[in-house]
């Protein structure tokens, strides 16, 4: 099977089809983050850092994700990366969605419920990731940092991605972020699940010029 083409496509190409998928994917991504937070069994590496900063500053989790996303976006400048509409939407919509989910879903006490929240969070996060990447409207700030470093250094995606996430995870853990079994589950499952969902949601339409 030929690899999927995930390169950027102009927003003017079928926007009525792609923009709703982008918005839905990013909203679902924020909601999945909220579910993992409420599960309290561990977060993905970037959210460990977000959690630590939210605890230390008193700002909402969504506000922290937006601030960190904007700061990461500044790192694109020396890497000569160009944001797309999906990049900006990533910062705004995820921040709103995660705070809305945390307002609607309270902390869980029963371990069974916490496990369900964790699993649902991981699976929905993978689907959301595939949805917003597959719409091909530009990567999020953190994904763009990875691809920019790969392009500028020539180092493999695997090494760059692992290095970034280990650095972020270590920083977040040292600052008091939530690390647990959910962190391990996420690390092991997110790649295969996203890969499985991508063929179902990737936009393959013809570019209109």
User: Average model confidence (pLDDT) for the chain?
Assistant: 90
Q: 22 and 132 in contact (C-beta within 8 Å)?
A: yes
Q: What is the pLDDT of residue 5?
A: 62
Q: What is the pLDDT of residue 69?
A: 95
Q: Within a 10 A sphere around the Cβ of 183, how many other Cβ atoms?
A: 23
- Coil, helix or strand at residue 178: coil
Using one digit for the tens of pLDDT, what is the confidence trace for 112-140? 999 999 999 999 999 999 899 888 898 88
Candidates 63, 90, 62; CA nearest to 76 is 90
d(CA 185, CA 36): 11
Q: What is the pLDDT of residue 158?
A: 77
Q: 60 and 127 in contact (C-beta within 8 Å)?
A: no
- Low-confidence spans in the chain with pLDDT less than 70: 1-7, 205-209
Q: What is the pLDDT of residue 74?
A: 94
Q: Residue 5: what are its φ and ψ, rounded to 5°? A: -85, 115
Q: What is the pLDDT of residue 53?
A: 98
Q: 33 and 157 in contact (C-beta within 8 Å)?
A: no
Percent of the chain with pLDDT strictly greater than 90: 63
Q: What is the pLDDT of residue 13?
A: 84
Q: What is the pLDDT of residue 96?
A: 98
Q: What is the pLDDT of residue 209?
A: 38
């Amino acid at each position: 099977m030929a690899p999927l083409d995930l390169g950027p496509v102009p927003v003017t190409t079928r926007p009525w089809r792609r923009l709703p998928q982008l918005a839905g994917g990013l909203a679902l991504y924020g909601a999945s983050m909220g579910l993992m937070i409420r599960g309290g069994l561990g977060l993905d590496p970037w959210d460990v850092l977000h959690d630590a900063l939210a605890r230390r500053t008193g700002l909402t989790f969504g506000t922290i994700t937006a601030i960190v996303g904007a700061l990461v976006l500044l790192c694109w400048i020396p890497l000569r990366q160009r944001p797309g509409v999906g990049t900006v939407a990533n910062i705004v919509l995820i921040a709103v969605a995660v705070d809305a989910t945390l307002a609607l879903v309270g902390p869980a006490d029963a371990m069974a419920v916490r496990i369900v929240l964790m699993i649902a969070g991981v699976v929905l996060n993978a689907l959301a990731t595939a949805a917003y990447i597959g719409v091909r409207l530009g990567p999020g700030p953190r994904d763009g940092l990875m691809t920019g470093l790969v392009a500028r250094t020539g180092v493999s995606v695997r090494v760059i991605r692992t290095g970034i996430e280990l650095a972020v995870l270590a920083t977040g853990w040292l600052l008091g972020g939530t690390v647990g079994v959910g962190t391990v589950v996420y690390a092991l499952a997110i790649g295969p699940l996203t890969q499985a969902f991508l063929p179902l949601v990737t936009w393959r339409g013809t570019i209109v010029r």
